[in-house]
Amino acid sequence: MNKQELLKDYRKQEDKICLSQVLDKIEYTKIREKIEYTDFLDMYQISLIENFLRKIKFQNYQLFGGYDESERKILIVYPEKYNDKMIAKNYSKFLKIVRIKLPEEEYGKYFHRNYLGGIVKLGLKREKVGDILVSEDGADILVVKDFAEVLKKELPSLTRFENSKISIEELSDIRKKEIKIEEINIIVPSLRLDNIVSDLAKTSRSKAVQIINQERVFINRTKRN
């Protein structure tokens, strides 16, 4: 089955582009007998790709973002001669950490938005950057391997980080953040998704429907619309 036939059921142009790139990776892997991987994917793209790969019955892949609970991940596609364990042993060939170590007088000063905002301000590609793990004394930024040197070079040009120590670290040295979970109890008239989203987002049902239609609602990391 050709690419056009595989993608005929997808209406959104951005979905077709995303999945077309995945098919290209699969094809390159078959031809070159080498591992291929993408840039970082967001939760929507991850859900889209996982469903698509199940649909076409393709199994030689992994989604990984540097640590088990990561939100943003890369897709790793590999030929038959590899297996999951072999891929796991080579994660450091795909991803690196760019670590920002703040001077003591700036400890606790910056949050996730400050680090991400700095990257955006530099005009760097968001898809090259995965999760940003913030701590009091700085942050670990997950990046695709070929982007690590670029980010290390550019970050000191931002005033906020000009006195920080910027280094490239291996995945084994990652400083994982503590996952915080908030439990919310709500009472809804029915188990309709718009009712639940309305209460959780503290908004109207009509606005909740818009959020759902925009495919911004995920249940167990799977989009709902």
pLDDT at residue 223 is higher than 60: no
Boundary of a domain, candidates 63, 90, 117: 90
Whether 184 is covered by a domain: the verdict is: no
Boundary of a domain, candidates 90, 117, 142: 90
- How many CB atoms within 10 Å of residue 198? 21
Query: What is the residue range of 118's domain?
Result: 94-173
* Same domain flag for 99 and 57: no
* Same domain flag for 64 and 141: no
* Same domain flag for 86 and 98: no
Give the number of domains in the chain: 3
pTM: 0.81
Whether 180 is covered by a domain: the verdict is: no
Boundary of a domain, candidates 90, 118, 137: 90
Separation CA 58–CA 38 (nearest Å): 16
Whether 127 is covered by a domain: the verdict is: yes
Taking Cα atoms as reference points, which of 38, 41, 25 lies closest to residue 79?
A: 25
pLDDT tens, residue by residue, 121-154: 999 999 999 999 999 999 999 999 999 999 999 9
